[in-house]
Structure 1
């Protein structure tokens, strides 16, 4: 080993030892399974390269792929709107007790596991669930008009309810760190709170919003318990179909091919974020 290599090792060795356990965990738990699933999606039983598994995944589960993309995009849109509203009121709200109550309430779903959230949604959104029962007791809904929301609507509401607190925390923290002089100047010139939120505050915290939405997309595309417990028929989320393919057929190849579409969707979202961020840095 050369003297330069020894000097570099002495200089950076302690730091490398500190990050080595984290790197090993990422490599073993995430990078290796990802690489393995991508490779085996294109290998046949003899080890040759094939597109048959991808073709079968598209033929069998094309509707589920489109359904998953639609549910994910609708959930992200709802998450964005609600998170911006809550974070904006926490930052610009003029009623102290309402701000304190909202700050105390909105974080609760953070500590609830997805499987519990799914079971709660089943009890709340079913035809004889709590929501319809309350509406019927109030005279706002007749028993004949009651319907179950345990379909794509239930998925969107459950994903949004679970992820809104996470995105709101990112946005509220970013909004709290902004210089309030520009906000106060706009208010003094007659701008309302909504205009300040959309025209001044939101453009400055857009990167934080994009990070929260991309991380939420990864969660939505990876959660199994919610689609399994809320949607009984087809189409459903790709995660449920992957589990079905493995559990009932032992077909890991098609399941891996189906997982490719989840990888592509999340990778595309990450690429959009990086492109937006780099474009912003270039303009600066």
Structure 2
């Protein structure tokens, strides 16, 4: 028996379990989104749920809000993460301690960060009360709304706080693997420090940063708990909207809930597909 066959046989039970749960759940979601539900008197496959979503202002606002959260969170996390990696690659006193502190919150659940934001930055939080005590505002209610607000500032803060170390560690690992030879050659040929960074180092670490950013985007786009805790009730993020419709006492809303969940999955898959295309194009170039 070859080594490859042994590895395949060892992995088969886990892969069958994970694949069965994933693709089984996906298949059920597709079937239910098409209205195929004999228990509810469904007449057969239909795209009525998707047509309803596309004509539903609440869904469109939720989609725009989710894209707003994911795009801004991912962009800020990538920029700050790469900047932090550039600082941490240098040799300075306390670098090891700084690196440990930088990646410390990787072990902290998102929910803990959300509760921290709620206690600190809500209009009844510690910062609002401290500002009122210092006479900066007339009362805690005058504090700018940073949670349950229309711009999802609290949600974005949690995601940026949590994902900056993730992207930063990926970028730092790539920089350390590359070393400084490429930049030294560029500097030797007359490039400035900024030109070496922009035209040499950043393009070399871009594939890894893009991969990490795609993961962050897919996660923030499909995550439920943070928007449910820190988001406003209307419009709600897509995962929150999907859950509300799934738990609606009116079972006729179930196909729309499944369709909403599939839209989340399809948009996340589209991001992954676009990333793969970019990487392949870069390899060919």
Matches within 5 A, 1:71-150: 71-91=69-89, 93=90, 95-97=92-94, 99-133=95-129, 141-143=136-138, 146-150=143-147
Of 253, 256, 268, the match for 1:254: 256
TM-score (norm 1): 0.86
**Alpha-carbon separation, structure 1, partners of 2:77 and 2:275:** 17
Other-structure match for 2:12? 20
Other-structure match for 1:4? none
Matches within 5 A, 1:226-245: 226-245=226-245
Query: C-alpha deviations, 1:17-55, integer Å up to 9, x for none?
Result: 111023113212322212221232123443512111112
- Cα 1:208–1:143 shift into 2, 3 Å: farther
Q: CA deviation at 1:133?
A: 4.5
**Alpha-carbon separation, structure 1, partners of 2:97 and 2:130:** 23
Contact 2:33 2:259 in 1 (8 A): yes
Q: CA RMSD in A?
A: 2.3
Where 2:202 maps in the other structure, the secondary structure is: helix
Q: Which moved more, 1:130-139 or 1:157-166?
A: 130-139
Q: CA deviation at 1:137?
A: 6.4
Of 43, 50, 56, the match for 1:54: 50
Other-structure match for 2:225? 225
Larger RCO (CA within 8 A; separation ≥ 6): 1
**Alpha-carbon separation, structure 2, partners of 1:236 and 1:268:** 22
Other-structure match for 1:279? 281
Other-structure match for 1:191? 192
Structure 2's unaligned 5+ residue stretches are none
Q: Does 1:29 align with 2:24?
A: no
Structure 1's unaligned 5+ residue stretches are 1-9
